[in-house]
Structure 1
């Protein structure tokens, strides 16, 4: 039995749950110490300036389309309600489901992908701390979280069309980092699910569904004005780095 097989054979589901829950709680705690709240909170001007930097970059390369995309769908209440729910729920549901499936069916693969996701998420924290970014939905809203940039017409679709929860909750605003937009871990996690599952799925329709999931997530994060498309690109970059680090760790540990 190889070293990897021994580790897989000795694993316990409750240990994995404790590790994942513990990691996420630490991640959330650290994330919320930067950006809009917390011990190392940034100021509104910094988050707004970073937003202008991103927008100007997109304009420079001719790809600032987020505002136009959202405006096309803004009156489709049921449609945007769906994407609000998609954004707020599948991020967790699909990722957890992917982890459970790998743990039960492909435990060796689970170890590497679990490590890769953890590193990816940790790298996301670096981005949140180094580059607090006001998301599109907050650009025209007043401080302390918004930038009062009335030249932009982005709409907080969750506030207008509803969903499973609301950014307008005083408790949520007080404890969460409203400027944790760069990179988009929503897209990073969605792409992680696709990478983890597509090679081991037998059904063509299941593979097609997993291919479509990160594509749908890319659309969802933009149409709800939670991210700029560049945030999504950054999310893919940290995922690549995270998975490469996990691969290196696996080689060193189990060679």
Structure 2
């Protein structure tokens, strides 16, 4: 993607903050307003059973087995709880900041790609509210009635930054915003946005590993099915196409 004319200057930082902040505020409101606050657990559980059936039909339902391999390693799982809770915000924000200051010609395209990707995820959240594995046997207000699935809600049981089903996080979260996985979409966005700009071999390897580590984190903590990551890939594709079309239109204008 051609980032635009060479004379393009860096966007004003305060306008960027305002646009991104306003967008994320609207996105969060829409995501939470029409998610678990309005969807019955039975509908979200039915969609979860569909996902499990689809994965089983192609012989790739492995989420429970993967968690079982590591669930006895308490410190290990706690690390991945922290990874899940922190890295998608921290790395994404650092990527935006780094692009803004070091590669201002490339920044607008990748910023727009991220916004389109995040916005497109709302379609999946609205059309396919999905109960994550950690809630399938939890019962209660948001949980399901499938104890035979055997997943562990690792944050609740083993510890992490916060629980998504209690306290302030309960009020601020859509419990069924699982398909697509923005954790995976944002991690792959970071890789694509930075891959041509890193020269240090260690940094390049770490960047290449980041999406795969994120995939491991979202599955081993029972926050997502692997198909959610495939949905995240699709959302990123929509975001890239949307940004490409938008910036071509801007250049013509």
Pick the TM interval, shorter chain: over 0.9
In structure 2, the partner of 1:33 is 33
Q: Tell me how far apart the structure 2 counterparts of residues 201 and 194 of structure 1 sit (CA, whole Å).
A: 10
8 Å Cα contact 2:10/2:105 also seen in 1:
no
Q: Does 1:133 align with 2:124?
A: no
In structure 2, the partner of 1:203 is 200
Q: Residue 254 and residue 66 in structure 1: after superposition, are their counterparts in 2 closer, same or farther (change >3 A)?
A: same
Q: Which moved more, 1:162-171 or 1:187-196?
A: 162-171
In structure 2, the partner of 1:250 is 247
8 Å Cα contact 1:44/1:143 also seen in 2:
no
Aligned-residue offset at 1:165: 1.4
Q: Does 1:194 align with 2:191?
A: yes
Give the structure-1-normalised TM-score: 0.94
Aligned-residue offset at 1:102: 0.3
8 Å Cα contact 2:162/2:169 also seen in 1:
no
Q: Does 1:18 align with 2:18?
A: yes
Q: Tell me how far apart the structure 1 counterparts of residues 243 and 106 of structure 2 sit (CA, whole Å).
A: 11
8 Å Cα contact 2:165/2:175 also seen in 1:
no
8 Å Cα contact 1:128/1:179 also seen in 2:
yes
In structure 2, the partner of 1:177 is 174
SS in 2 for 1:32: helix
Deviations 1:83-112 (A, max 9, x none): 000000011000000000000011121100
Q: How does 1:1-255 map to 2 (within 5 A)?
A: 4=5, 8-9=8-9, 11-37=11-37, 41-255=38-252
Which sections of structure 1, spanning at least 5 residues, go unmatched?
none
Deviating beyond 4 angstroms after TM superposition, the runs of 4 or more aligned structure 1 residues are 2-6
8 Å Cα contact 2:4/2:105 also seen in 1:
no
Q: Tell me how far apart the structure 1 counterparts of residues 109 and 139 of structure 2 sit (CA, whole Å).
A: 44
